[in-house]
Amino acid sequence: MTEEASISDPQGDRNKWMILSAVMLGVIMGPIDGSIVNVVLPTIANYFQTDYALVQWVPTIYLLAICSFILVYGRLGDMFGYKRIFLTGLICFAGASLLCGLARNIWMLIIFRAVQGLTVAMQMALGLAIVTSAFHPQERGKAIGIYATAIALGLMLGPVLGGVIAQYLSWRFVFFINVPIGIIAFLWGGWIIPAGGKTPGQRLDMAGAALAFAFLFSTMLYANRGETLGWFSGWGLGLLLCAIVLGWLFVHVERRMAQPMLNLKIFSNRRFSFACLSSMLNFMGLYTVVFLTPWYLADALGKDVFAVGMVMMAFALLTFFIGPLSGTLSDRIGYRALGIAGMLIHATGLVLLSRLGTSADNLDVAWRLMICGFGAGMFQSPINSAVMGSAPAQFRGSASSLLAIMRNTGMAFGIAVAGAVVYNLAPFTTRGQAGPFSGAQLDTFINGLHWSYLTGALFSILSATAVFLAKNDIQTTQA
């Protein structure tokens, strides 16, 4: 019995909204954890009396672990059923979070943070696959739009919770907060998500899994550590060459496998391919905002960590409300117009952010962030629906994991490019100097932010172009 069959029966149809709620409760922990930890990194560095270069591995190893294994989990979900892998990720993530909170030194924290990444990747890989299988194509955009609110809510709550915890509690509660959420999500999901079943005659492509891991790990390591290593240094170029060779080997091997880790024929669907590309470019533009704006608020305007979190809520708040509306509308008019308009609005917000100077107040930043959030919310639900609707039912786990890879790759390269632009135009920041800045340094810093925001706007325009080049189907394809 396939996952599709198990969810499409009458009982499954009656429970589809409960299935969606169970998935959202599990998925929300990823964006909360990804956004909350960055707020308390300085606190962690001070507690363990370590330098910034070492403590930066706390978020870096998490992202590396997620991206390196997410494709494997998508394939395992297609083989053994989405529920089993999803729930395993939930309970293991809760356990890994507890270990992070109990870490006695920075090295223990980095190791347990890697385990966190390995486990949360299971939820990221298969959440969309479960939701897509639970809903008919005519409601898929609406369901995915509501699903997206979990991610937006997590991104919205993360900085605020991080600010509160940094100010009033120990940094350890950043990790402890995941434990009760994870246990509740595990129990709720175990009760309501249909069991599904194994796909007979399937086996895991071990060579493809190893090559996928090595390719994604080296790619994400280059994106995250390229500035430290030197983008064009011997180490940096060697790592980039390694990623290219491994990527070529992965494609070469997968073309010849009877049961590949990733069936490359899925990319022959023009809508699927260009929608995936547009998603990656979208997150490159989006994370230009997420990465640069707290830096601007803290180091140029001198805001404290709680104020930074409150202002950043403006972005996620609009995404939270617009995502479900855009997803519902995409069920009626298709994804293409909404995706293009969303990215052009997002680009406009980035251009407006680039005009900010040293005298801006919280409201000046917040309304510009709301424009960016409006555009992101308009874009993401229709495009996710387009990707999942164009994937055959037996490959939905792989399609869901590919979307997660596009999202995390876009995040990593968006941060890397934005940082590289600032570092080249404001070179004093590469020396580890903390803000707030003043005088000539502040002017140089603002100039670097100006060009970085404009670079993010370019990514958004390229994302809109990729949507334009996709196939213009109004309804999602019945798998």
pLDDT-derived band at 350, boundaries 50, 70, 90: very high
Instruction: Give me the pLDDT at residue 201, please.
Output: 64
Q: Which of 284-298, 356-370, 379-393 has the largest mean confidence?
A: 356-370
Instruction: Give me the pLDDT at residue 13, please.
Output: 55
Instruction: Give me the pLDDT at residue 264, please.
Output: 80
Which tops the pLDDT comparison, 2 or 439?
439
| Rounded mean pLDDT, 325-343 | 88
| Rounded mean pLDDT, 143-155 | 77
**Is residue 4 scored above 50 in pLDDT?**
no
| Rounded mean pLDDT, 46-51 | 82
Instruction: Give me the pLDDT at residue 476, please.
Output: 39
What pTM value is reported for the model?
0.78
| Rounded mean pLDDT, 295-322 | 81
What does the pLDDT look like over 55-64, one tens digit per residue? 778 887 888 8
Per-domain residue ranges of the chain: 3-204+261-469, 205-260
pLDDT-derived band at 1, boundaries 50, 70, 90: very low
Instruction: Give me the pLDDT at residue 313, please.
Output: 80
Which CATH architecture describes the domain 3-204+261-469? Answer: Up-down Bundle (1.20)
**Is residue 474 scored above 50 in pLDDT?**
no
What does the pLDDT look like over 176-230, one tens digit per residue? 988 998 999 999 988 888 876 666 666 777 887 888 888 888 887 887 777 777 7
Which tops the pLDDT comparison, 369 or 154?
369
Closest CA to 411 of 135, 68, 34: 34
What does the pLDDT look like over 85-135, one tens digit per residue? 899 999 999 999 999 999 999 999 999 999 999 999 888 888 888 888 888
Can you tell me the distance from the alpha carbon of 367 to that of 356, in angstroms, rounded to the nearest whole number? 12
What does the pLDDT look like over 226-274, one tens digit per residue? 777 777 888 888 888 998 998 899 888 888 887 777 778 878 888 888 8
Instruction: Give me the pLDDT at residue 428, please.
Output: 53
Q: What percent of the chain has pLDDT over 70?
A: 89
Please state, rounded to an integer, the average pLDDT across all residues of the chain. 81
3-state class (DSSP) for residue 87: helix
| Residue written as token pair 């430290």 | 228
Closest CA to 72 of 133, 122, 4: 122
HEC states along 358-406?
A: CCCCHHHHHHHHHHHHHHHHHHHHHHHHHHHHCCCHHHHHHHHHHHHHH
What does the pLDDT look like over 411-459, one tens digit per residue? 878 877 887 787 776 655 444 444 566 667 777 888 888 899 999 999 9
Which tops the pLDDT comparison, 29 or 4?
29
| Rounded mean pLDDT, 305-331 | 82
Which tops the pLDDT comparison, 278 or 478?
278
Produce one character per residue of 96-124: b if its CB has 16 or more CB atoms within 10 Å, e if not: bbbbbbebeebeebbebbbbbbbbbbbbb
| Rounded mean pLDDT, 288-311 | 81
Instruction: Give me the pLDDT at residue 438, please.
Output: 66
Closest CA to 73 of 29, 35, 129: 129
Closest CA to 125 of 165, 84, 158, 167: 84
Which tops the pLDDT comparison, 298 or 249?
249
Helix then strand then coil, in percent of the chain rounded to 5, is 80, 0, 20
Q: What is the CA radius of gyration of the chain?
A: 21
Instruction: Give me the pLDDT at residue 5, please.
Output: 38
Looking at 8-17, 341-350, 389-398, which range is the least confident one?
8-17
pLDDT-derived band at 348, boundaries 50, 70, 90: very high
Can you tell me the distance from the alpha carbon of 281 to that of 286, in angstroms, rounded to the nearest whole number? 9
Q: Is 196 left (phi over 0), alpha (psi -120 to 50) or beta?
A: left
What does the pLDDT look like over 213-228, one tens digit per residue? 888 888 878 877 777 7
